[in-house]
Structure 1
Amino acid sequence: MVDRAGAGRAAGMTSGQVSVSAPAPERIEGIDAPSARSTAETLEIGALLAIVGGFLDAYTYLTCGGVFANAQSGNVVLLGVEAVHGNYAQALRHLFPILAFIAGVVLVETLRCRRVAALVRCPARAALLLEVAVLIAVGLLPGVLARDVVVVLIAFVAAVQIATFRTLRGWLYTTTMVTGNLMAMTSGIFGRLVIRDREATAKAINFTAITVSFLVGAVLGGAFCLLLGSRAIWIPAVTLLAALSLFVFDGRFGHRSMDREADRQPR
């Protein structure tokens, strides 16, 4: 890991790199009615998670020497470059965040297995709690360990988040990187203004909100890093708790509202 001046060997995605790994958002058929969408797919949850994603990128960039740890494109490229040049120690440092990311995805997929799902009733809530716990632990790490370990832990957190929360009102999207969302936002705006496609309006609004939320998270990350230093990582932990509270609220009151709606329907 190096400082910003030598960010070419940073154990993450450096400021000169652009992630192209985000999937192009597509509409998923059969998920249109608001009542059919889970809390995990709402714009409120997506916006909060995008704020977290932007915050984490700003945090690792400012505290870990110009590193973006959310996406792994940079690590994969630098792993290959360092290996070709015989810098195996540096190559190994890029390998650890990749393995942590893989571990996060494997964990989420395990939570979705039928046997595990029977024990964990709400994998999305479990994922949020896990993220909160890891981020709190990151803030407690001594400064000597922070630079190397934080990138690995945040790569794990990013994987858990991106693998758990994949759809926004039926569209595929990401909350830890902005490239795919920016493309979807542009596509939606173009469709509405040029093609006059009314359905593109919702796409433009939703993905603009997600993209702006990511930017807001980055701004907050920069500000709180100046104020709190490494302890700023606790701010996204609080944001994730706010997202978790939406699950609790919907769990307690959402079903009651739906029951009242059903009672009002003519029989």
Structure 2
Amino acid sequence: MSGNKQTSESFILSAILSLSGGLQDAYTYNVRGNVFANAQTGNVVLMSQSFMMGNVKTGLKYLIPIVAFALGIILSEQIEHRLKNAEKVHWRQVILTVEIILLGIVGFLPQESNMIANIMVSLSCAMQVQSFRKVQGFGYASTMCIGNIRSGTESLSRYLRSREQKDIRKTSYYYGIIFFFAIGAGLGGLISGIWGIYTIWFSVLLLLIDILIMIRE
């Protein structure tokens, strides 16, 4: 903890989470059957389209990660409720540890197990977005961009009108997070062509760095 800000809200930790989030989305899309791990809106669109066209099997391919994402939110909330007052370990460190275990296992799963892999990555992404929701005190999402784009652009508009430094500072945080998410997605797409199913282990490394940051503080 630094001042009134928690370590989990620091920009560096949030940037690493976003880097990991972008990589995970690129990984499941490029390596695990064109399914999004984080962008559940995209999965809903593709699911509905498939069902409407009578492609039930394809529709289920997109529905199952959506359900897994919802279950991840529930699991994260339950862990927070049970461990929020724990003295020996921070509940967010437990969340990151569970994510690392899930993603570490995903790297061992063959292409024939893409559905299981997508379930585990979506579960992990949901736990992350539920548990890490602020950067420097401002609400954000580490695994998707639309909300961050809206909030960052709103702050930019306010700055253009008010010229207040707090607005441009807020804008920089949001666009910084978007930048790191984009870098993560780009790296994920690039590395996927080289490492294939093992690409997800790069995300594991990033989450380990975040745990070390939290432990140090």
TM-score normalised by length of structure 1: 0.74
**Higher fraction of helix:** 2
Which structure 2 residue ranges, 5 or more long, are not aligned? none
Matched, 1:219 2:161: no
Matched, 1:64 2:32: yes
Alignment of 1:235-246 (within 5 A): 235-246=202-213
Q: 2:12 aligns with which of 33, 44, 51?
A: 44
Which stretch of structure 1 is more off in the superposition, 125-134 or 180-189? Answer: 180-189
Q: Secondary structure at the match of 1:99?
A: helix
Q: What is aligned with 1:54?
A: 22
Q: Distance in 2 between matches of 1:221 and 1:90?
A: 24
Matched, 1:182 2:182: no
Which structure 1 residue ranges, 5 or more long, are not aligned? 1-32, 251-267
TM-score normalised by length of structure 2: 0.90
Q: What is aligned with 1:102?
A: 70
Q: Distance in 1 between matches of 2:11 and 2:28?
A: 26
Task: For residue 37 of structure 1, report the CA deviation from its aligned partner.
Answer: 1.4
Task: For residue 79 of structure 1, report the CA deviation from its aligned partner.
Answer: 3.7
Task: For residue 83 of structure 1, report the CA deviation from its aligned partner.
Answer: 3.9
| RMSD between aligned residues | 2.1
Task: For residue 118 of structure 1, report the CA deviation from its aligned partner.
Answer: 4.8
CA 1:224–1:82 in 2, change beyond 3 Å: closer, same or farther?
Answer: closer
Q: What is aligned with 1:90?
A: 58
Task: For residue 194 of structure 1, report the CA deviation from its aligned partner.
Answer: 3.9
Q: Distance in 2 between matches of 1:126 and 1:116?
A: 9
Give me the identity figure in percent.
31
Q: Distance in 2 between matches of 1:228 and 1:77?
A: 29
Assess if the C-alpha contact under 8 Å between 2:107 and 2:201 holds in 1: yes
Q: Distance in 1 between matches of 2:50 and 2:194?
A: 35
Q: Secondary structure at the match of 1:112?
A: helix
Q: What is aligned with 2:106?
A: 138
Query: Number of residues paired by the alignment?
Result: 216
Q: Distance in 1 between matches of 2:150 and 2:40?
A: 19
Task: For residue 220 of structure 1, report the CA deviation from its aligned partner.
Answer: 1.4
